[in-house]
């Protein structure tokens, strides 16, 4: 069983975490099911960037992002070459190390619509 290793995040996961991950599930669902409340303002429909993560190890094991995800990622805060929307990145059979960025762009949370 692959592991999803979450680097420490000041608010969501201060100590970091090592989670046994189920292949075929998204990173977002795996985090939420394990008590790490990553934002997902669009309810995981690939319509925002609030669930943005940076894959520090294991990126090559993920199915490449589709065009819609790539277009949204262009708007994400702290974009890096190994950035993914966690609602779209499906865990396969390899361990992943991820970082949840310090900030996200959430217009609903910020009072904009």
Q: 69 is written with which tokens? A: 């995800």
Q: Quote the pTM value.
A: 0.90
Structural domain total, the chain: 1
**Average pLDDT of the residues of the chain:** 92
Q: Which domain holds residue 19?
A: 3-99
Q: What is the pLDDT of residue 88?
A: 98
Copy the structure tokens of residue 9.
């995040």
3-class SS of residue 71: helix
Q: The domain spanning residue 10 has which CATH number?
A: 3.10.20.30
Q: Does 29 map to a domain?
A: yes
**Is 107 inside a domain boundary?**
no
Mapped onto helix, strand or coil, the DSSP state of residue 4 is strand
Does some domain include residue 78?
A: yes
pLDDT for the residue numbered 20: 97
Is 113 domain-assigned?
no
Has residue 109 been placed in a domain? no
């Amino acid at each position: 069983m692959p592991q999803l290793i979450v680097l420490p995040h000041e608010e969501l996961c201060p100590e970091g975490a090592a989670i046994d991950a189920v292949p075929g599930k998204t990173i977002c669902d795996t985090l939420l099911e394990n008590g790490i409340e990553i934002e997902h303002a669009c309810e995981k429909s690939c319509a925002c960037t609030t669930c943005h993560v940076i894959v520090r190890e294991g990126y090559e094991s993920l199915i490449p992002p589709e065009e819609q995800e790539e277009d949204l990622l262009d708007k994400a805060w702290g974009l890096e070459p190994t950035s993914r929307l966690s609602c779209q990145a499906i865990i396969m059979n390899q361990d992943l190390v991820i970082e949840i960025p310090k900030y996200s762009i959430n217009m609903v949370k910020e009072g904009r619509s």
